[in-house]
Amino acid sequence: MAHADLLEASVDAMREATGESPSGIVVPVGVGEDYFGRIAAMEFAIANDDGHFANPLTEADIVLVGVSRSGKTPLSMYLGYLGYRTANIPIIPGINPRSNCGKSTAPGSSASPSTLSGCKNPHPPGQCDGAGQGQYGLHQPDQDLG
């Protein structure tokens, strides 16, 4: 079978520069002792995103509660990267998010409805409502927040 050894020249140059021959043993690079815990925390964030709970919320280190399109998912992923098992719950009119949480909650940030509306509107083509205002109009954050 025809093949090309693309690394031969590089390996030879390293051997010549260091005076050492390659060991032939593959050694993982950049995998610290916390690596698999951080990966598990990111997987937890994905599995428990936007109110879809694959695990009991009591297993979460952090539970984020907020209106739709306010940045809960990216924050959950970042916190997962740091090793925190994070779930997030959307605020939906008529549903008390604390009833799903099972933990004590505390507010973490706030924004005006006009700011949230600006975050909610930029959607790819085809995801806008009939009025062409994106997922929500300016009134929706007011409704989300009660």
**pLDDT per position as a tens digit, 40-91:** 999 999 999 887 888 888 899 998 888 877 888 999 999 999 999 999 888 8
Report, in angstroms and rounded to the nearest whole number, the Rg of the chain calculated over CA atoms: 24
How high does pLDDT run on average in the chain? 76
pLDDT of residue 105: 53
Q: Residue 94 burial by CB count (10 A; 0-12/13-18/19+): exposed, middle or buried? A: exposed
User: pTM for the whole thing?
Assistant: 0.55
The answer to whether 80 and 61 are in contact (CB under 8 A) is: no
Query: How does pLDDT run across 112-129, given as a tens digit for each residue?
Result: 666 666 655 444 444 333
Higher pLDDT, residue 63 or 109 = 63
